[in-house]
Chain A
Amino acid sequence: AQSVSQHNHHVILSEAASLELGCNYSYGGTVNLFWYVQYPGQHLQLLLKYFSGDPLVKGIKGFEAEFIKSKFSFNLRKPSVQWSDTAEYFCAVSNEKLTFGTGTRLTIIP
């Protein structure tokens, strides 16, 4: 069975700081990888996705993620965060069904 680990439960940063959220998955076969974001009071929405090809993928709002197959990782990065990035971030993997990690709550201090 596939599983996803997000080791950062709550991250607090000041505006303009750089961000990296960790995500590791376990599955022996081919998976698709995702980061979803849930802004306060809003619906869950796709931030970025990796299916194949270039392991560095760019998403919306300046976010990017790097797939490192040897490390089973798909970490999310942003060079300079904004207050509006305050949200819950979920890493997810999909083979036959979508499995979410436990989530990382990101709080940006103005």
Chain B
Amino acid sequence: DTEVTQTPKHLVMGMTNKKSLKCEQHMGHRAMYWYKQKAKKPPELMFVYSYEKLSINESVPSRFSPECPNSSLLNLHLHALQPEDSALYLCASSQVLRGGGNTGELFFGEGSRLTVL
């Protein structure tokens, strides 16, 4: 079992729908991440939040909108997605080092499998 909880586990949505993916961790980590993983591919970084502030956006299209309401929660709001956005979306968390970076030791959730019709 992982200490990073993602909901829902599966989501099917149409291209005009608005939906959200949710992630929660209670390890006291102050960095949280969204990754996208296509089948048989490595995870690709989308967003990083550090101390509830967006620190990295890997040029992700605006139809993906992240939100970090507090240090334990991370959301990914989805709107007007395309079929090619179908993938496994992974949330992760980590400690933040004193200098502001992180060690790279991330704790991952089981993912939300998204299908866009």
Contacts and interface: CB of A to CB of B under 8 A. Distances in A.
Interface of A: 32, 34, 42-46, 49, 51, 90, 92-94, 96-103, 105
Interface residue SS majority, chain A: strand
Contact of B110 (A32, A42, A46, A51): A42
Contact of B56 (A32, A92, A97, A100): A97
A46 B43 contact: no
A103 B42 contact: yes
Contacts, number: 50
B109 A98 contact: no
Interface string B20-60: 00000000000000000000111101001000000010000
Contacts of A92: 104
A32 B103 contact: yes
A43 B42 contact: no
